[in-house]
Every structure is written in structure tokens, then in C-alpha cells.
């Protein structure tokens, strides 16, 4: 049951990372300076992606450990 919330949070982080990347792309194409700037939006998306991958990896190892024992 604990893997359900990890998977859901990882999916939300993935959607957030996609949206951050999209906003950064639009900001770069329009060449308008927003609060975070192009680099800030892409770095935020990268951070969310790394967190999502870590959560999914943790959930996977927990499932594998439970099935092997």
C-alpha cells in the first residue's frame, strides 16, 4: 500500500517537470524574461524529474525486496 502514494507523487512530479520544461521553452522562444528565467524553469523541471525517478526507484526496490523474501 505504501507504494501507491509514492507512484502517485512520482507521476505528479513528472507532470510538474513537463510543465516546467514547457514554460521554460515558451519563455525561451518568446525571449521574455520571467521570474525564474529560462534556466530556472528548466532546472526546476530537472529537479522534479530527479525526485520522481528516485521515488520510483525506491518503490521498485521495496516491491522487489518484498517479493524475494
* CA 20 and chain centroid, separation: 9
DSSP tag of 55: H
Residue by residue, pLDDT tens for the chain (69 residues) are: 567 888 888 889 999 999 998 888 888 888 777 677 778 888 888 999 999 999 999 988 988 888 887
Q: What is the DSSP string of 5-51?
A: HHHHHHHHHHHHHHHHHHHHHHHHHHT---SSHHHHHHHHHHHHHHH
Domain around 15: 2-68
Q: Is 51 exposed, middle or buried (0-12, 13-18, 19+ CB in 10 A)?
A: middle
- Number of structural domains in the chain: 1
Amino acid at each position: 500500500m505504501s507504494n501507491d502514494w509514492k507512484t502517485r507523487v512520482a507521476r505528479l512530479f513528472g507532470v510538474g517537470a513537463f510543465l516546467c520544461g514547457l514554460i521554460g521553452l515558451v519563455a525561451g522562444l518568446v525571449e521574455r524574461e520571467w521570474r525564474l528565467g529560462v534556466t530556472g524553469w528548466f532546472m526546476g523541471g530537472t529537479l522534479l524529474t530527479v525526485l520522481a525517478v528516485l521515488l520510483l526507484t525506491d518503490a521498485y526496490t521495496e516491491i522487489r525486496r518484498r517479493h524475494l523474501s
